[in-house]
A and B are shown apart, each in its own frame.
Chain A
Amino acid sequence: MSETLLQLRNVGKRFGDHVVLKDINLDIAKGEVVCVIGPSGSGKSTLLRCINFIAPPEEGEVIFEGRTWKRFHSAFNFIANRKYEAKLPTLRAEIGMVFQHFNVFPHMTAIENVVLGLTKVRGNTRNVAREIAERSLRQVGLGDKLDQYPEKLSGGQKQRVAIARALALNPKVMLFDEVTSALDPELVTGILDEMRRLASDGMTMVVVTHEMNFAFQVATRIVFMDAGRIVTIGTPEEIRNTTEPRARAFLSSILG
């Protein structure tokens, strides 16, 4: 594989006393598609949210393109804390994220959803932003829905808006958190095809999913998590034939 884009080093996350992630180490190379699987509550979503510091890890660090990001720890050093927080948006701007429940902005039309980041984060003028947004929405098949409010869109279309919104900023890596789980079954394939297209375009992706067919076909590596830890990592072939008992149990339960 080519050069490393993203590294997690000893990442740990707690909510109060509840340890949700423990000692997570993961290197992701440019162009990789890493699928994350595991039982409910194992910490998959939290892992993604640590990468862009939506849920900042208390321990460890995230290294993105050689730059180290870690939560600043002083309760008293007000200025240092604010400085660290003020820089987070520049990290997040390079990382696209798509959510299970879409989280499109309901008070904005499809194109406005996409334009917002282009103007406010990337600093494009409105005209340029609209052009990029339109192209981005066309790419996900929403060329005829530019001026629709999300309320008028199906779940699949909303998720496409969310994907276009993230892709328009030209991120270096995309995070997907069970993006098909809230969709009606007939809409799932369309979104998965969209992700396949992205993967074959060379986008680096971290994908939390229960769609095992997708994971086995598209992933360069699969991460199996349980109880806040990475239990095993391997190529689809290796995971399919794993002898690790928890991973085996999980796979047989999900594959039937």
Chain B
Amino acid sequence: MDNSQLFFDFAPIWQARTLLLEGFGIAMFSAVAGIFFAILLGLIVALMRLSRYRALRAIAFTYTQLFRGVPLYVLVLWIYFGLVYAVGIDIPRIPSGIIALALLNSGYLSETFRSGILAVEKGQREAGEALGLRPWQVSRFIVLPQAGRIVVPPTGNQFVDAIKDSAILSIIGVPELMKVAQEQANMYYRPFEFYTVAGLLYLIAVIIVSKGISKLEQRLARFSRASKEASSGERRPSEVGG
């Protein structure tokens, strides 16, 4: 039977299902790994921005501006092709993609984390210091856990963005969902079907992640009324020295 006669034909999707799911897996893996490293980097950069040392603050500020200002498209090409030609660092496709996602998202997350830390009442740090805790202990046990609760929703949004952004990794040949969909769409001459399914898979992932984040938010909400309760008094931002 000649499939090309049908207006819609989703049979090729079924034939390419394994490839599509593998691509989906690689897309998710890239997004998760990218966000994971972005959180680590973002936290370090946020702490540097709140440091008492001007040099650290300047480095962190530059970092944030740089990676928030460069399109992911450029960053991906720069890491995968640019670094090989310029300095001979040859990073494989998937790690290149993950690094690009991590750098870009860490720029945004460092801002998120910085404002999360500043949103913790100043009295919290003071109470910790008054107990005789060392500054790093105050950060570790008092300020950061509270800031962590504050930044869950924006970090979740960033994760959702990273899932969608992972599609851009197709330009360097990472065999993720979008790349697979493109190849199969061309092979079967069925772009509508393949891109529809690819879109739906991203959508499903995004919906599941968003649900998970709001569940987490609700669980944490039980303990995080501190900033509201403080409205009875003056609210001054806290600082994390580093």
The distance in angstroms between the C-alpha atoms of A102 and B39, with both chains bound, is 32
Task: Answer whether residue A190 sits at the interface, using C-beta atoms and an 8 A cutoff.
Answer: no
Contact partner, B222, options A91, A120, A149, A162, Cβ 8 Å: A149
User: Chain A residues with Cβ under 8 A from B223's Cβ?
Assistant: 106-107, 149, 151
Q: Which of B205-242 contact A (CB under 8 A)?
A: 222-226, 229-230, 232-233
B68 at the interface (CB under 8 A from A): no
Contact segment of A21-29, A92-100, A221-229, A246-254:
A92-100
**How would you classify the secondary structure of chain B's contact residues: helix, strand, loop or mixed?**
helix
Q: Contacting chain A: which of B128-136, B152-160, B163-171?
A: B128-136
- Choose among B127, B133, B225 the residue that contacts A103 (Cβ–Cβ < 8 A): B127
- Tell me, yes or no, whether A40 is within 8 Å of chain B by CB: no
Size class of the contact patch on chain A = 20 to 34
Q: Quick check: is B145 within 8 A (CB to CB) of the other chain?
A: yes
In the complex, A44 has a CB within 8 A of chain B:
no
Chain B residues whose CB sits within 8 angstroms of the CB of A96 once the complex forms: 130
Complex contacts, B222 vs chain A, CB 8 Å: 149, 151
Q: Please give the distance in Å from B149's CB to the nearest CB on chain A.
A: 7
Interface size on B, residues (CB 8 A): 27
> Is A89 a contact partner of B123 (Cβ separation < 8 A)?
no
In whole angstroms, how far apart are the Cα atoms of A116 and B149 in the complex?
Answer: 19
Asked if B141 and A116 make an inter-chain contact with CB atoms under 8 angstroms apart, the answer reads yes
> Is B131 a contact of A93 with CB atoms below 8 Å?
yes
- Complex partner residue of A106 from B128, B133, B137, B146, CB under 8 angstroms: B146
User: Closest A-chain residue to B220, C-beta based?
Assistant: A107
Given contacts A101-B233, A182-B232, contact A116 B131 (CB under 8 A): yes
Instruction: Give chain B residues whose Cβ lies under 8 Å from the Cβ of A104.
Output: 127
- How distant is the Cα of A107 from the Cα of B232 in the complex, in angstroms? 19
A213 within 8 A of B: no
- Sorted nearest first, the 10 A-B pairs with minimum C-beta distance are A93-B132, A106-B226, A103-B127, A97-B130, A103-B123, A101-B233, A117-B131, A92-B132, A121-B132, A89-B132
